[in-house]
């Protein structure tokens, strides 16, 4: 299932980031700890150049702690990059961002050389909540839907520490189908860009294999882990619909309501601490996506050359 979402305001955000980053010392990329690879914007390296980057795995309280450690090690091994995990609503760990930024740019101190930080991330990853926590004020708008922040905001955290918040931004074309599904499941994609039932079926297909115990407990499913894994995804969603009373007149199943229940439970952490990808899995998906994208580009080039020869 191909999921794409790049509304007009994201073009403006891309331009704003490209201009702002010229005067930035450190870039913070806020990631969803449940999908740390899929929520990382591939445009960031292009826009940020060689500036130090802090990868922040947000919503760690909703993610699998073992997998979070694996992702922290994976990002931490990259050049000019540090990584930390936190829950943006907690005051103490959020302050670690300031210290981490100062370590990445130790010469930026004092009023004559203030620290200038840009924070970026996909929609609905928790940037506004984090900024409000850091500044102890409700300076940034928050919400449960993608695209709440629409304009760049400058936040003063200390006398010599300036933070620029940008609207959440995806990228023009998502070449990894698995990432599109995970971004949709997390709420990073506008609801008009995907079919909720299809996203939920893909989500259940992953959860029943990797988090069967959590899935069975959430929906009171009396199946063993092996039986759950062997259950067809449609049958599993039907079972959840019946358990949660997602029914219409005449006892017909309300598939849409069932899908919304599963998405709400996942986004709110009601299924327990789950992470939808490992570094190894994501690397394989990315390699496959890049290979298909290269094939697509080669076909377009060949077609273009063919049209030129026939003119």
Contact status, residue 29 vs residue 40, Cβ threshold 8 Å: yes
Tell me what pLDDT residue 194 has: 92
Domains and their CATH numbers in the chain: 8-165 (3.40.50.300), 195-268 (1.10.1580.10)
Radius of gyration of the chain (CA): 21
Q: Could you tell me which residues come within 8 angstroms of residue 196 by beta carbon, excluding any fewer than 6 positions away?
A: 256, 259, 260, 263
26: β partners: 117
Residue 101: both structure tokens together? 């930024």
Q: What is the full per-residue pLDDT of the chain (311 aa) written as tens digits?
A: 678 766 666 767 788 788 888 889 999 999 999 999 999 998 888 888 788 999 999 999 999 999 999 999 999 999 889 999 998 677 777 778 888 999 999 988 888 899 999 999 998 898 888 888 877 665 555 444 444 444 567 888 888 898 888 888 888 789 999 999 999 999 999 888 899 999 999 999 999 999 999 999 999 999 999 999 999 999 999 999 999 999 898 889 999 999 999 999 999 999 999 999 999 999 999 999 999 989 988 888 887 777 777 76
d(CA 168, CA 58): 14
* Angle between helices 279-310 and 65-76 in degrees, nearest 10: 60
What confidence score (pLDDT) does residue 145 get?
A: 46
Q: Is 41 left (phi over 0), alpha (psi -120 to 50) or beta?
A: beta
Q: Are strands 161-165 and 153-158 parallel, antiparallel or unpaired?
A: antiparallel
């Amino acid at each position: 299932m191909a999921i794409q979402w790049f509304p007009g305001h994201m073009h403006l955000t891309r331009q704003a980031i490209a201009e702002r980053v010229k005067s930035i010392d450190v870039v913070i990329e806020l990631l969803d700890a449940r999908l740390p690879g899929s929520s990382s914007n591939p445009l960031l390296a292009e826009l940020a150049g060689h500036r130090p980057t802090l990868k922040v795995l947000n919503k760690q309280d909703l993610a699998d702690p073992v997998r979070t450690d694996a992702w922290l090690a994976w990002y931490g091994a990259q050049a000019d990059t540090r990584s930390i995990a936190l829950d943006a609503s907690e005051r103490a760990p959020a302050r670690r961002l300031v210290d981490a930024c100062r370590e990445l740019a130790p010469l930026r101190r004092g009023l004559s050389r203030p620290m200038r930080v840009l924070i970026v991330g996909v929609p609905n990853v928790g940037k506004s909540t984090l900024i409000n926590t850091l500044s102890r004020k409700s300076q940034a708008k928050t919400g449960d839907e993608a695209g709440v922040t629409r304009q760049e905001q400058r936040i003063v955290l200390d006398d010599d520490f300036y933070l620029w918040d940008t609207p959440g931004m995806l990228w023009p074309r998502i070449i990894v189908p698995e990432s599109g599904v995970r971004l949709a499941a997390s709420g990073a994609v506008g609801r008009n860009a995907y079919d909720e039932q299809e996203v939920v079926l893909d989500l259940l297909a992953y959860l029943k294999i990797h988090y069967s115990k959590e899935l069975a407990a959430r929906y009171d499913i009396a199946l063993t882990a092996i039986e759950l894994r062997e259950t067809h995804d449609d049958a599993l969603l039907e079972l959840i619909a019946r358990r949660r009373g997602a029914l219409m007149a005449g006892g017909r199943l309300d598939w849409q309501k069932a899908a919304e229940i599963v998405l709400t439970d996942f986004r709110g952490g009601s299924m327990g601490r789950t992470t939808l990808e490992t570094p190894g899995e994501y690397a394989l998906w990315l390699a496959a996506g890049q290979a298909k994208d290269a094939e697509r580009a080669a076909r377009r080039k060949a077609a273009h050359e063919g049209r030129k020869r026939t003119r």
